[in-house]
Amino acid sequence: MILGLETSCDETAAAVVTDDGRVLSSVVASQAELHADYGGVVPELASRRHLELVAPVVREALRAAGCELAAIERVAVTQGPGLVGALLVGLSAAKAIAWARRLPLVPVDHLQGHVASLYLGEAPVEPPFVCLLASGGHTLLLAVRARGASERLGTTLDDAAGEAFDKGARLLGLDYPGGAALDALARAGDPGAYRFPVARVPGLDFSFSGLKTSLLYKVRELAPEEIASRRSDLAASYQHAIVRALVQRLRQAAEQAGLERIAVVGGVAANSELRAALPEAAFAPFAYCTDNAAMIASAARYAPALAYPSYLGLDAYASAA
């Protein structure tokens, strides 16, 4: 049995997962409300909240799984990328738990964690496949040839896809993080009402920063009454532009890598238009799209474990290598 911990951003999460990928518990305490007033995650506030929540969340994960700490055989934890102060809380807690019971510790890359969310649930996805990882912090195209082994095909040159959703949502007056609210608002709108261009960059990379600027200009250009009456059209058109760019690049990547199967993970994988636009794709189970610790424990099944006590000096890292 693996105990997983995740504290890379604004979710404090712990989970118990078996070696064959059954999720016995997955507890996620979101801090979204804490940061909503600031329109984004405030790193220092996030670290402090993680510190308050990490022990109760681990306790709750063990209780919900119906297992004692004594039954845990490995501890898995997100080492990076993320907010360093936030990561250090989870990493220190994981070290302490592992050290106290002389267990091995598995440091997990957060991005590999998102990919490993595909190996949980009723219908796990088997490599090889091309994977789109689209979250608040990352937009990546990966060729996954085996569980635990992936190669980067493309990434964003500026904003992440989730960030584009969040910034657009903010311009439309929705609270942070606005991705899911924009998705809901867009359902009542016409995706063809406005044209928002997505920059075409060479290769398999993305660029979303211009898109947010064009929404900003559009919002400035419209009269307040028109914005109010056309909010859902604006949301639908804006969302459509992001989804179109993601789908285009993903299909192109699959072709170039010679991989038939495609998969989507990360918070943006929860988007309803993206799901509808890719009927052939495998999506991470809904509950494991946004940050959680079950995916971290899942990834630990395919990553090397460090023996007690060699992990005590382990450090967190902020950005992807």
Binding site for ligand KG4 (CB under 6 A): 9, 135-137, 162, 165-166, 177-180, 183, 266-268, 270-271, 290-291
C-alpha to C-alpha distance for 143 and 152, rounded to whole angstroms: 6
Considering the complex, what minimum distance in angstroms separates the CB of residue 269 from ligand KG4?
A: 8
Residue number, 178 or 189, with CB nearest to ligand KG4: 178
One residue of 135, 139, 156, 298 binding Zn ion per CB under 5 A: 135
C-alpha to C-alpha distance for 63 and 69, rounded to whole angstroms: 10
DSSP letter string over 255-299? HHHT---EEEESGGGG-HHHHHH-TTSEE--GGGTSS-SHHHHHH
C-alpha to C-alpha distance for 272 and 224, rounded to whole angstroms: 28
- Does the protein bind Zn ion through residue 159 (CB under 5 A)? no
Residue number, 166 or 291, with CB nearest to Zn ion: 291
Considering the complex, what minimum distance in angstroms separates the CB of residue 286 from ligand KG4?
A: 10
Q: Residue 164 contacts by C-beta under 8 Å, 6 or more apart in sequence? A: 208, 211, 212, 242
| Residue 232 host element (H or E) | helix 224-257
Task: Select from ligand KG4, Zn ion, none the partner in contact with residue 177, using the beta carbon and a kind-dependent cut-off of 5 to 8 Å.
Answer: ligand KG4
Task: Select from ligand KG4, Zn ion, none the partner in contact with residue 183, using the beta carbon and a kind-dependent cut-off of 5 to 8 Å.
Answer: ligand KG4
Residues in 51-70 at the binding interface with Zn ion, rule: CB under 5 A: none
Task: Select from ligand KG4, Zn ion, none the partner in contact with residue 180, using the beta carbon and a kind-dependent cut-off of 5 to 8 Å.
Answer: ligand KG4
Residue number, 74 or 167, with CB nearest to ligand KG4: 167
C-alpha to C-alpha distance for 75 and 93, rounded to whole angstroms: 10
Q: Residue 225 contacts by C-beta under 8 Å, 6 or more apart in sequence? A: none
Task: Select from ligand KG4, Zn ion, none the partner in contact with residue 12, using the beta carbon and a kind-dependent cut-off of 5 to 8 Å.
Answer: none
C-alpha to C-alpha distance for 247 and 272, rounded to whole angstroms: 13
Considering the complex, what minimum distance in angstroms separates the CB of residue 180 from ligand KG4?
A: 4
Considering the complex, what minimum distance in angstroms separates the CB of residue 156 from ligand KG4?
A: 12
C-alpha torsion 57→89→157→41, nearest 10 = 70
Considering the complex, what minimum distance in angstroms separates the CB of residue 296 from ligand KG4?
A: 12
Residues in 244-303 at the binding interface with Zn ion, rule: CB under 5 A: 291
Residue number, 9 or 27, with CB nearest to ligand KG4: 9
The encoded tokens of residue 22 equal: 């059954």
C-alpha to C-alpha distance for 202 and 141, rounded to whole angstroms: 14
Residue number, 109 or 183, with CB nearest to ligand KG4: 183
Task: Select from Zn ion, ligand KG4, none the partner in contact with residue 80, using the beta carbon and a kind-dependent cut-off of 5 to 8 Å.
Answer: none
Considering the complex, what minimum distance in angstroms separates the CB of residue 223 from ligand KG4?
A: 28
Any idea which residue has 């950005």 for tokens?
319
Q: Which of 18-26, 119-127, 128-136, 201-209 is the region at the interface with Zn ion (rule: CB under 5 A)?
A: 128-136
Residue number, 43 or 210, with CB nearest to Zn ion: 43
Chain centroid to CA 4: how far? Answer: 16
- CB distance 64 to 25 below 8 Å: yes
Longest dimension (CA), the chain: 64
Considering the complex, what minimum distance in angstroms separates the CB of residue 88 from ligand KG4?
A: 17
Residue number, 80 or 127, with CB nearest to Zn ion: 80
Residue number, 76 or 103, with CB nearest to Zn ion: 76
Alpha-helix runs per DSSP H in 19-156: 32-36, 43-65, 84-100, 110-116
* Count of chain residues binding Zn ion (CB under 5 A): 2
Chain positions contacting Zn ion, by CB under 5 A: 135, 291
